[in-house]
């Protein structure tokens, strides 16, 4: 039996070489209990990928992935097995519903969008990995830019000319027609004046090092001031200061060209066609330091990441380890009827067939081959059966596994075993109000029993039925929790004013609902649920303990009435 166990182990990628099929099943057991046949099937398919990568390229290209069809009701773990498998190996994963695709010529999504969406998912995955690598450097660069805004650097002094100074002697130029008589020139006076100017220049050069020595302490002082600002910035003392930065406009004009092809192919970005005309625009914008820091981090990250390399890595990862979970495959099963809303079901199967068997899809990032993408199809198959699929598509899913429905024991385990089970989630939520919620073991058994009974008598929605049961049980407690805490606090203050210590015992009550379950019907008599004051060392707890009688009081009357069960539970 399958149980979704969220968060029972750390989400981390594991090298495919380190995982044997037995170890893959053991990892999946941490999230989904039971369903051994489905786990073995996906474990073998995953291990075959690793085996294919060790073969010669000529033979490796001939080996196709072993696609799988999972048959089972909703809520038994079909999607979770595929999702956890992808996370286990850090593979690009995409979940799509087969029912939203239509045959070419009808209004709906094109099946090739599956590959395009998978590439987008892989690019985002690889980009997140690269962001983690450059995160520290980007934050440091953004921090330096913030400090430059808060403490601008002084302008550098103009460089003085270097080399041997040239002595210039000035004299009066004769007029036109006159002859220059050098004997009449007093060259001695001119030479004395030039020597005086040279002496003044030497004195200025001697004074220049003194000016540089004075500038050195100023640079050291500026560096100390900058480090003080850095310390204040890291402590958050400068977050509310206003700075002005150059913010780039991120909006780019898009046009849609109407023509032959899918809507994904016709979406054209003018910035890609005319990069010079629609270049990045920027404008000055004032914002707080904290906001500017986040903006500058994003800007620095985009500068440090090579998106071309990210795209190449993402496409390789899609082609070699991509996983597509094709849900509701039973909704498109069935042969062509020629009328009604099912007119294009067989057409959709024929459109999906090339993607599954292997083809090349043109995306805006380049051509992507689907030859070695693993497809996992799933469906309840209540009305149809896998043999209703067209023969060509049946042959592309050689492995078929059936998942079993949940039992009472399975429901009980899902309430108690996971790290973030429904019980622990509810306890944590009410703890924020100052109310401690406790469940008796018998109460959990009653909820598991009611969930199983409702699934048997109405639609079987698997483990999701526990959500409706839990919400019905905690309805009044969640609604009255803030008021109960206020009542308890008021009673404790009154006791303190009298110089007394409030004794352990009942301090409030969860009053039963006065709203009829169905309009026109009388409200049955119900007992209040006490809120107990309990001292645990130096701390005082306000405890609400849910017992089996309270669960039956909240749920039993609805479960008995099948009409109400269909609407409420």
pLDDT tens digits, the chain, 569 residues: what are they? 444 444 433 444 455 567 888 998 888 888 787 788 899 999 998 888 888 888 898 898 888 888 999 998 888 888 888 888 888 888 899 998 888 876 554 555 778 889 999 999 999 999 999 998 998 898 899 888 888 888 876 665 555 555 555 555 555 555 555 554 545 555 556 556 556 655 555 545 555 554 444 555 577 888 888 888 888 888 888 888 888 888 776 554 554 444 444 444 444 454 555 555 555 567 788 888 888 888 888 888 888 999 999 999 999 999 988 999 998 898 888 655 544 555 567 888 888 898 998 899 999 999 999 999 999 999 888 888 888 888 888 889 999 999 988 889 988 888 888 777 889 999 999 999 888 899 999 999 999 999 998 888 888 888 888 888 999 899 888 998 888 888 888 877 777 777 666 556 677 777 776 665 555 565 566 778 888 877 776 777 888 889 998 888 888 877 666 555 555 55
Question: Which residues neighbour 89 within 8 Å (Cβ) at sequence distance 6 or greater?
Answer: 13, 14, 16, 19, 46, 321
Among 141, 143, 140, 153, residue whose Cα is nearest residue 290: 143
Reference 302, options 520, 127, 125; nearest CA is: 127
How many CB atoms within 10 Å of residue 384?
Answer: 18
CA distance 433 to 483: 10
CA-based R_g, the chain, Å: 38
> What CA–CA distances, in Å, run from 304 to 40, 87, 130, 310, 415?
42, 26, 9, 12, 46
Element (H, E) at 52: helix 36-53
* Cα of 204 vs its chain's centroid, Å: 65
CA dihedral 408, 412, 413, 417 (to 10 degrees): 170
Q: Which two tokens stand for residue 247?
A: 């913010």
Q: What DSSP line would sit under 298-321, residue for residue?
A: HHHHHHHS-HHHHHHHHHHHHHHH
CB count within 10 Å of CB 391 equals 7
Q: Please write the tens of the pLDDT for every residue from 430-478.
A: 999 888 899 999 999 999 999 998 888 888 888 888 888 999 899 888 9
Parallel, antiparallel or unpaired: strands 539-546 and 254-256? unpaired
Distance CA 548, CA 50 (A): 51
pLDDT tens figures, 16-69: 567 888 998 888 888 787 788 899 999 998 888 888 888 898 898 888 888 999
In this structure, what DSSP letter does residue 18 have? G
Which class for 484: exposed (0-12), middle (13-18), buried (19 or more C-beta within 10 A)?
A: buried
Q: Which two tokens stand for residue 492?
A: 């404790």
SS3 state of residue 493:
helix
Residue 183, SS3? helix
């Amino acid at each position: 039996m399958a149980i979704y166990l969220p968060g029972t182990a750390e989400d981390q990628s594991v090298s495919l070489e380190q995982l044997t099929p037995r170890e893959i099943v053991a990892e999946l057991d941490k999230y989904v209990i039971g369903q051994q046949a489905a786990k073995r099937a996906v474990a073998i398919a995953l291990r075959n990928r690793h085996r294919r990568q060790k073969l010669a390229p000529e033979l490796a290209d001939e080996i196709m992935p072993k696609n799988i069809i999972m048959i089972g009701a909703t809520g038994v773990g079909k999607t979770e097995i595929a999702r956890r498998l992808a996370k286990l190996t850090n593979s690009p994963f995409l979940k799509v519903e087969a029912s939203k695709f239509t045959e070419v010529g009808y209004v709906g999504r094109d099946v090739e969008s599956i590959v395009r969406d998978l590439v987008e998912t892989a690019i985002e995955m690889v980009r997140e990995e690269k962001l983690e690598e450059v995160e520290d450097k980007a934050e440091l660069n953004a921090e330096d830019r913030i400090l430059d805004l808060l403490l601008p650097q002084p302008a550098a002094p103009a460089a003085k000319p270097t080399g041997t100074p040239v002595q210039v002697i000035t004299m009066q130029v004769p007029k036109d027609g006159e002859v220059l008589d050098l004997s009449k020139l007093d060259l001695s006076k001119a030479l004395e004046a030039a020597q005086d100017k040279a002496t003044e220049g030497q004195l200025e050069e001697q004074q220049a090092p003194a000016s540089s020595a004075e500038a050195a302490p100023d640079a050291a002082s500026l560096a100390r001031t900058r480090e003080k600002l850095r310390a204040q910035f890291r402590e958050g003392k400068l977050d509310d200061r206003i700075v002005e930065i150059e913010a780039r406009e991120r909006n780019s004009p898009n046009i849609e060209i109407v023509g032959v092809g899918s809507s994904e192919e016709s979406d054209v970005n003018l910035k890609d066609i005319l990069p010079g005309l629609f270049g990045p625009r920027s404008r000055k914008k004032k914002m707080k330091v904290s906001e500017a820091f986040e903006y500058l981090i994003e800007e620095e990250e985009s500068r440090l990441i090579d998106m071309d390399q990210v795209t190449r890595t993402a496409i390789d990862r899609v082609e070699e380890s991509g996983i597509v979970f094709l849900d509701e495959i039973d909704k498109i099963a069935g042969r062509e009827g020629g009328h009604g809303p099912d007119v294009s079901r067989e057409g959709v199967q024929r459109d999906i067939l090339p993607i599954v068997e292997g083809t090349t899809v043109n995306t805006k990032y380049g051509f992507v081959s689907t030859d070695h993408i693993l497809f996992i199809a799933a469906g309840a198959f209540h009305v149809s059966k896998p043999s209703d699929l067209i023969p060509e598509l049946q042959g592309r899913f050689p492995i078929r596994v059936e998942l079993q429905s949940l039992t009472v024991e399975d429901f009980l385990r899902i309430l108690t075993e996971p790290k973030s089970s429904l019980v622990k989630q509810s306890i944590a939520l009410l703890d924020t109000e100052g109310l401690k919620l406790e469940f008796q073991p018998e109460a959990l058994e009653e909820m598991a029993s009611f969930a199983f009974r409702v699934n048997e008598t109405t639609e079987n929605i698997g483990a999701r039925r526990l959500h409706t049961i839990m919400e019905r049980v905690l309805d009044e407690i969640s609604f009255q929790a803030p008021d109960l805490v206020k009542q308890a606090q008021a009673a404790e203050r009154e006791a303190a004013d009298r110089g007394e210590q409030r004794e352990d015992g009942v301090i409030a009550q969860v009053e039963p609902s006065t709203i009829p379950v169905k309009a026109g019907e009388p409200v049955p008599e119900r007992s209040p649920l006490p809120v107990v004051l309990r001292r645990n060392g130096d701390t005082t707890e306000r405890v609400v303990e849910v017992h089996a009688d309270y669960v039956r009081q909240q749920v039993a009357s609805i479960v008995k009435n099948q009409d109400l069960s269909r609407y409420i539970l």
